[in-house]
């Protein structure tokens, strides 16, 4: 099973760029600073409220994710949005099986030590508590308008960019997220009813933080540590 992509093949076709907005240098600096300050408030949380979130909010955020750039514009992603309590419970059961195996047998002590300040363990109650689970799949191939199946390139990179857009959009809308990556994640294909040509990359937990939610006291690296100007 492949996802059909509707766009013109063959000779390139271009249209005028009408959506770009220019700003003065002062406006650019202000907008950049404001966006940084907003994103710097974002925290990964592991304690979620079960309060419902309007579906329209999730839909708009997914549309934002869909605007991300991708290899050859194939848009090789699919977002399986899960709200059914029984299905969330099944996902938790399967995820915790993999997590126990990870913590008890597969994870080297160095990795366990790195995770220790975050307070994580094999118990994942948030998979049932949060109102939304979004399983983000990458697609190996795409079905074109003419019926041919073509290979997708730069799938991990494209999916990663779209995921970043999605997390930013959800935060901007007033929601909290957790990027969960049980390994292996093959069970998500079956539970989310997705075909074999798709690979689950991230299980994104979405909702409001629980009251009195606690988060790790961590910091982000300064600009001098993450960027070099040449």
CATH value at residue 149: 3.40.109.10
Residue 223 lies in a domain: no
pLDDT of residue 130: 98
pLDDT of residue 107: 81
Cβ count within 10 A of residue 100: 13
Sheet holding 77-82, edge to edge: 77-82, 132-139, 198-207, 176-180
Report yes or no on whether pTM surpasses 0.75: yes
Q: How far is Cα 159 from Cα 183, in angstroms, rounded to an integer?
A: 18
- The answer to whether 84 and 103 have CB atoms below 8 angstroms apart is no
Domain count, the chain: 1
Q: In sequence order, which residues have a C-beta less than 8 Å from that of residue 79 and are 6 or more positions away? A: 62, 65, 134, 135, 136, 137, 166
The DSSP letter of residue 104 is: I
| 37 three-class SS | helix
Q: How far is Cα 40 from Cα 69, in angstroms, rounded to an integer?
A: 23
Q: Which domain holds residue 194?
A: 53-215
- The answer to whether 62 and 163 have CB atoms below 8 angstroms apart is no
Residue 99 lies in a domain: yes
pLDDT of residue 11: 73
- What kind and span of H or E run contains 141? strand 141-143
- The answer to whether 5 and 141 have CB atoms below 8 angstroms apart is no
Residue 172 lies in a domain: yes
- The answer to whether 137 and 198 have CB atoms below 8 angstroms apart is yes
Residue 112 lies in a domain: yes
Cβ count within 10 A of residue 42: 14
Residue 44 lies in a domain: no
Residue 5 lies in a domain: no
Q: Which residues of the chain fall short of a pLDDT of 70?
A: 1-10
Residue 4 lies in a domain: no
Residue 105 lies in a domain: yes
- The answer to whether 1 and 193 have CB atoms below 8 angstroms apart is no
Q: How far is Cα 177 from Cα 179, in angstroms, rounded to an integer?
A: 7
pLDDT of residue 105: 86
């Amino acid at each position: 099973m492949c996802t059909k992509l509707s766009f013109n093949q063959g000779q390139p076709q271009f249209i005028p760029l009408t959506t770009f907005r220019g700003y003065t240098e002062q406006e650019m600096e202000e907008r950049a600073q404001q966006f940084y300050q907003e994103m710097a408030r974002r925290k990964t949380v592991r304690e979620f409220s079960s309060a419902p979130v309007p579906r329209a909010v999730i839909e708009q955020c997914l549309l934002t994710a869909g605007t991300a750039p991708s290899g050859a514009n194939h848009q090789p992603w699919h977002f399986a949005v899960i709200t059914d309590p029984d299905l969330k419970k099944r996902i938790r059961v399967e995820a915790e099986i993999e997590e126990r195996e990870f913590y008890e047998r597969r994870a080297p002590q160095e990795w366990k030590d790195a995770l220790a300040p975050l307070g994580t363990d094999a118990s994942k109650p948030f998979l049932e508590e949060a109102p939304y689970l979004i399983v983000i799949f990458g697609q190996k191939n795409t079905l074109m308008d003419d019926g041919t199946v073509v290979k997708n390139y730069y799938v991990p990179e494209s999916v990663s960019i779209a995921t970043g857009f999605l997390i930013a959009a959800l935060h901007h809308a007033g929601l909290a997220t957790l990027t969960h990556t049980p390994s292996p994640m093959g069970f998500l294909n079956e539970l989310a009813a997705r075909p074999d040509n798709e690979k689950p990359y991230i299980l994104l937990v979405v909702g409001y933080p629980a009251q009195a939610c606690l988060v790790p006291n961590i910091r982000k690296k300064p600009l001098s540590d993450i960027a070099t100007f040449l």
